[in-house]
Amino acid sequence: MSSYSSICICAFILSMVNEAFRPANATAIAHYSNKKNRTQSFSLVRLAINLGFGVGIGVGGLLASIDYHLLFWVDGCTNVVAALTLLVILPKVTLEQQKKPQEEQSPDVTMKEDRSALKDRDFLFFLIFVVLFGICFFQVFTTVPIFMKENLMLKESLIGIVMAMNGLVIALFEMLIVYKLEGRRPYLYLISLGTVLMAVAFLFLDIPLANGFVVALLAVFILTIAEMVAMPFMNSYYISRSPEKKRGQYAGFYTMAWSVAQVVGSSAGAILAQKMGFLHLWWVVACLCLLAAGGFYWLLLKKIKLA
């Protein structure tokens, strides 16, 4: 790559391949797990991602200090190794093995094996609320670090410590939290609870405490708890609604919802911060969180009413 246009083309191809992996990965997790351990399985994958993210940052920084070209070579090689490892370790699946026993499926779908995701109205509403959740969530990686630097006057090293805490807490406690919560409450209740906690986290950024580091630390900690409560059960909810034959389609639409949220959240957050200021932005984000939480809870009430 020697020009800006070639970088854009390669970035587009790379993004397309990465996004194609996500629905297939979610479908594979659903296949190799069962109804009892499915949420824990998704959490275990999230744990692996967070550990890889943490290690990758350190290794990437080391490689970049030696030669930037090494980043691309090592990244490409690790992807090839991961692909070969999956082919070798995972057992091959035949068409007959893909058919799950009837009791493994959600009551919502046992009589609707050919239902398209586009005809599942509750799932479409769920996607809308996921987009709202995602728009708020992606502020953590875009506008929140800028707020920490410009408004809370934190140095880059302290911002790095605060942001690293997110991955560390997830790696240490998410599996335990999911184990304790799974089966005790409906998925939508836990998702709604996590979304409310995220609203609290953003409002916490508006508290005028003297110590900006404490504000940032507590806000990110609460947000991390919210993430651990809500996101694993989002995966379990849409998987539980998806017919076996349409599971990849459901996973694809769910991935698209997060992609839309990332694009909209990153740009809209930056624009609102510039026009209105960060303190007003956090109120807007908190209101969106509460709107999404109300939407998830509405789906739960609707399901209870139909039961």
Share of the chain above pLDDT 70, in %: 90
Of the candidate ranges 55-64, 238-247, 276-285, the one whose mean pLDDT is the lowest: 55-64
Confidence label for 202 from pLDDT (cuts 50, 70 and 90): very high
Task: Give the burial string for 100-138 (b: 16+ CB within 10 Å, else e).
Answer: eeeeebeebbeeeeebebeebeebeebbebbbbbbbbbb
Q: Which of 51, 58, 90 is nearest to 74 (CA)?
A: 58
Residue 228 clears pLDDT 60, i.e. is over it: yes
Q: Which residues pair with 182 in a beta bridge?
A: 185
Angle formed by the axes of helices 247-276 and 121-137, nearest 10°: 40
Report how far residue 42's alpha carbon sits from residue 21's, in angstroms, rounded to the nearest whole number. 15
pLDDT of 263-282, one tens digit each? 999 899 999 999 999 999 99
Average pLDDT in the 100-111 region? 47
In angstroms, how far is CA 44 from the centroid of its own chain?
Answer: 13
Name the DSSP letter for residue 185.
B
Residue 99 clears pLDDT 70, i.e. is over it: no
Distances (CA, A) of 68 to 6, 13, 38, 62: 17, 20, 39, 10
Secondary structure E strands in the chain: none
> Which CATH code fits 4-87+120-306?
1.20.1250.20
Please tell me which residue, 295 or 206, carries the higher pLDDT value: 295
The model's pTM is 0.81
SS3 182: strand
Give the mean pLDDT of the chain.
Answer: 84
Task: Give the burial string for 21-52 (b: 16+ CB within 10 Å, else e).
Answer: ebbeebbbbbeebebeebbbbbbbbbbeebee
Distances (CA, A) of 119 to 122, 173, 208, 250: 9, 37, 47, 11
Report how far residue 244's alpha carbon sits from residue 100's, in angstroms, rounded to the nearest whole number. 8
Quote the pLDDT of residue 108. Answer: 44
Please tell me which residue, 24 or 182, carries the higher pLDDT value: 182
Residue ranges per structural domain of the chain: 4-87+120-306
pLDDT of 204-223, one tens digit each? 998 877 688 889 999 999 99
- At position 77, the amino acid (one-letter code) is C
Quote the pLDDT of residue 203. Answer: 93
Report how far residue 116's alpha carbon sits from residue 120's, in angstroms, rounded to the nearest whole number. 7
Confidence label for 147 from pLDDT (cuts 50, 70 and 90): very high
Residue 107 clears pLDDT 60, i.e. is over it: no
pLDDT of 13-26, one tens digit each? 877 777 777 777 77
Do the Cβ atoms of 288 and 268 come closer than 8 Å?
no
